[in-house]
C-alpha cells in the first residue's frame, strides 16, 4: 500500500513539475542525505579513500561532497524521467559521434552496448530507442520490490526500450530475429559467484566484474560498442561512443571486458564525483584462491569459444 502511495501520490505528481522546480526539492534532499541522515556515508567514504589513496583528505572530502550533490541531481532527474516527454528527453541527451552506431546498423549487425552507472544512466535507458535505429534491449537484475520493478521498467520502456532480466534475455532476443538489436548492459555492478567473475585491478583494487557481455558477444558474434555518458551541464548529457570490436571471436580472452574497464576507469579518474560511490562495489572481498579462479575462468572460456 505504501509503495502505491509513494508512486502515485508522490513520485508521479513530482515528475510532472518543471525540472527546475524538482531541482529545488533536490537541494533539500541533498541537505538531508548529507547532513541530517547521511546516506551510506561509510560506504561512500571508504570507496573514495580506497580508490584515491594518494589524494589528500581534503581532496577525498571534496569528491564525497560533489558526489552527494550529483546524487541529489540524479534523484531529481530520475523523478522527471518517469514522465519526461520525448521532445524534452531528446534535448537532454545527445550523441557525440552517432556514426559509430549508424554504420553498424547499415551492416545489419547486432550490438552489445556497454555503459555504466556514471552520470545519468536513467536518461540513457529511456532514450536509447530514440537515439539509435536499433531495437533497444536493456538487461538488468530485477528489483527486490516487484511493484517498483514493474512500474519503473514500464516507464523506461515507453519510447521503445525492452527491459529484460538476465534470466530470460535469450528468449527475448530471439523474437527480434532479423531486426538489428542494441543490447544495453551496465557492466559495473557487483557480480555473483567468484568463479564466474572476471577479476582485474580497477581503481587500484582487485575487483570482480561481470563477464556476461564478453560471453554474449562471442555467442552472438555481436559487435561491441562502449558508451561513456558525459555531463554537459546540469540536466544535459552527451554520449561518446567507441567501437570496441566487430569481431569478438577474434579477440583474446578478456580483451572486451578490459577495454570497458579501462574506459570506465579513465572516466572516473577525470570526473570521480559522477560515479555511483554509494554502491557496495567491493563487498565481495578478494578470495584466497584468486589466481586459481583466474586460471580456471580463462581455461573455461578458451575451451568453450576458442577450441
Residue 300 within a domain? yes
pLDDT at 181: 98
Q: Would 71 be classed as within a structural domain?
A: yes
Q: Most distant CA pair in the chain: distance in Å?
A: 59
Structural domains counted in the chain: 1
Question: What are φ and ψ of residue 113, in 5° steps?
Answer: -110, 100
Q: How would DSSP label each residue in 234-263?
A: TTEEEEEEEEEES-GGGSPTTHHHHHHHHH
Q: What residues make up the domain containing 87?
A: 2-281+291-305
Q: pLDDT of 41-77, one tens digit each?
A: 999 999 999 999 999 999 999 999 999 999 999 999 9
Name which of 181, 170, 274 is nearest 212 in CA terms. Answer: 170
C-alpha cell at position 218: 562471442
C-alpha cell at position 148: 517498483
pLDDT (mean) for 112-122: 98
Contact call for residues 224 and 112 (beta carbons, < 8 A): yes
Its pTM stands at 0.95
Please check whether residue 268 is in contact with residue 118, taking contact to mean a CB–CB distance below 8 angstroms.
Answer: yes
Residue 145 located in a structural domain: yes
Q: How many CB atoms lie within 10 A of CB 90?
A: 14
What pLDDT shows up at residue 115?
98
pLDDT of residue 143: 83
Domain presence at residue 286: no
In a domain, 136, yes or no: yes
Res. 144 pLDDT band, cuts 50 70 90:
confident
Torsion angle of C-alpha atoms 29, 275, 217, 156, degrees rounded to 10: 20
Condensed to tens digits (0 to 9), the pLDDT of residues 193-238 reads 899 999 999 999 999 999 999 999 999 999 999 999 999 999 999 9
The stretch 268-282 carries a mean pLDDT of 97
User: With contact defined as beta carbons under 8 Å apart, do 66 and 273 qualify?
Assistant: yes
Q: Residue 213 falls within a domain, yes or no? A: yes
pLDDT in tens, 1-30: 899 999 999 999 999 999 999 999 999 999
Q: What is the pLDDT of residues 176-197, one digit of tens each?
A: 989 999 999 999 988 888 999 9
Task: Flag whether 232 is in a domain.
Answer: yes
Amino acid at each position: 500500500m505504501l509503495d502505491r502511495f509513494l508512486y502515485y501520490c508522490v513520485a508521479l505528481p513530482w515528475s510532472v513539475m518543471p525540472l527546475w522546480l524538482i531541482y529545488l526539492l533536490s537541494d533539500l534532499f541533498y541537505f538531508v542525505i548529507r547532513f541530517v541522515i547521511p546516506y551510506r556515508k561509510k560506504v561512500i567514504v571508504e570507496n573514495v579513500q580506497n580508490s584515491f589513496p594518494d589524494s589528500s583528505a581534503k581532496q577525498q572530502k571534496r569528491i564525497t561532497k560533489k558526489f552527494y550533490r550529483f546524487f541529489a541531481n540524479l534523484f531529481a532527474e530520475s523523478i522527471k524521467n518517469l514522465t519526461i516527454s520525448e521532445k524534452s528527453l531528446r534535448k537532454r541527451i545527445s550523441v557525440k559521434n552517432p556514426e559509430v552506431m549508424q554504420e553498424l546498423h547499415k551492416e545489419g549487425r547486432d550490438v552489445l552496448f556497454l555503459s555504466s552507472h556514471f552520470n545519468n544512466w536513467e536518461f540513457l535507458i529511456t532514450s536509447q530507442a530514440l537515439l539509435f535505429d536499433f531495437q533497444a534491449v536493456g538487461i538488468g537484475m530485477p528489483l527486490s520490490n516487484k511493484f517498483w520493478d514493474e512500474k519503473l521498467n514500464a516507464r523506461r520502456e515507453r519510447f521503445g526500450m525492452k527491459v529484460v532480466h538476465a534470466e530470460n534475455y535469450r528468449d527475448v532476443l530471439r523474437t527480434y530475429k532479423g531486426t538489428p538489436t542494441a543490447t544495453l548492459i551496465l557492466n559495473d555492478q557487483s557480480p555473483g559467484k567468484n568463479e564466474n567473475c572476471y577479476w582485474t585491478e580497477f581503481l587500484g583494487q582487485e575487483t570482480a566484474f561481470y563477464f556476461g557481455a564478453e560471453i554474449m558477444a562471442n555467442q552472438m558474434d555481436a559487435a561491441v560498442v562502449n558508451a561513456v555518458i558525459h555531463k554537459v551541464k546540469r540536466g544535459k548529457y552527451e554520449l561518446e561512443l567507441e567501437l570496441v570490436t566487430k569481431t569478438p571471436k577474434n579477440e583474446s580472452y578478456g580483451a572486451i571486458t578490459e577495454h570497458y574497464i579501462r574506459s570506465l576507469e579513465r572516466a572516473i579518474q577525470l570526473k570521480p564525483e559522477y560515479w555511483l560511490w554509494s554502491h557496495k562495489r567491493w563487498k565481495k572481498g578478494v578470495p584466497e584462491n584468486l589466481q586459481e579462479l583466474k586460471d580456471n575462468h580463462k581455461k573455461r572460456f578458451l575451451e568453450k569459444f576458442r577450441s
